[in-house]
Copies of this chain bind each other. A is one copy, B any other.
């Protein structure tokens, strides 16, 4: 008997028929003798409907009241799932975040979980019940309803799994696992059976949309084994078969993992680049340029400063595309005149491609193969950044698909079976 947390996304909860399917799947786990906690999202479209009503009333809604409104979506879907489980003959009860309670800080619409009381959940499990806990929400020290922000149900599920020391946290979603890259770009992309936590973190942060990055960080912090699998398989699929589907995100870096030097190709179009040409090269110039950007709570991703020529240098950095206009404005009004740059060149037509793999730690020459592959395709590399287990390059966005396909092939991700 294992203690398992299931998380179901909005698409999986998208209709009463689908909710009944979720109940059938949970019932199968329960019948096999497992203790199950289920964390459902709101029915798909519901959160957008609620936020739409709020925006009809005011363009600048207060966070506290937005959370009051948005939290109702998960509460309703949790109650509906409890009814569906009861219809399957399962003793089930739903709990809102405040009833557990799931304690958070007071940062409305993007709160962080600070503590989860396991007593009520464990008592209900011991009473033979399936326990449903609303995802996405909690309660702050003042007793106010909070939400974790978009995609927060993943984080809720992982945090609950950590709190009750679950054996595994299963994230059921509309894809069947983590792929070597996006199958829409590379049709021969292969589902990984296993990926290391650190690789998953890089894949998630670099644009692989399967899991919310905060949930992966949480899983890493508390060493919760995560499995991503499809909610679209038949709910009565044999349990052993279901467990072999999907992708396990593991903390065990054993022999099997080392076989794959590069595990996947991640990419994102959410980048934008700003180049400042002819910046007088004085000490403190990086801070002079980027300090105000950081003050505006804008994350900077890649940074490159060229070799100084004649006392001036070219300085480039990237930000999330959502922040692009704001950063361009900060540069124009505050920075370019202040640091005396000759010219600013903003560029939205860029994309970032990354190779990710824990094997890169111990294998040399990986980045070279990446650069060679791109050169062979005549793709110019604008910026490079590296970490222990990934190498990222910024390229012109029209070459993105070509680059991903070429790298996927060059690192033999299409055919290489994982060592298992």
Contacts and interface: CB of A to CB of B under 8 A. Distances in A.
Interface stretch (A48-56, A148-156, A353-361): A48-56
A62 interface: yes
Contacts of A64: 93
Interface in A193-217: none
A219 to B, nearest CB: 28
Contacts of A98: 98
Interface string A40-76: 0000000000100110111001101111110111011
Nearest to A134: B68
Given A19-B57, A57-B19, A84-B57, A76 B72 contact: yes
A16 B71 contact: no
B57 A83 contact: yes
B75 A87 contact: no
Among A58, A71, A72, residue most surrounded by chain B Cβ atoms (within 10 Å)? A72
Contacts of A84: 57-58
A65 B94 contact: yes
Nearest to A43: B53
A170 interface: no
A78 interface: yes
Nearest to A62: B86
Given A79-B54, A83-B54, A87-B57, A99 B143 contact: yes
A82 interface: yes
A94 B62 CA distance: 11
A143 B94 CA distance: 12
Nearest to A88: B58
Contact of A80 (B69, B94, B144): B69
Given A19-B57, A68-B75, A68-B96, 6 more contacts: A16-B53, A16-B57, A58-B86, A68-B82, A68-B94, A75-B75
19 contacts: A16-B53, A16-B57, A54-B79, A54-B80, A57-B83, A57-B87, A62-B82, A65-B80, A65-B86, A68-B78, A68-B82, A68-B96, A69-B75, A71-B75, A72-B72, A72-B73, A72-B75, A98-B98, A99-B143
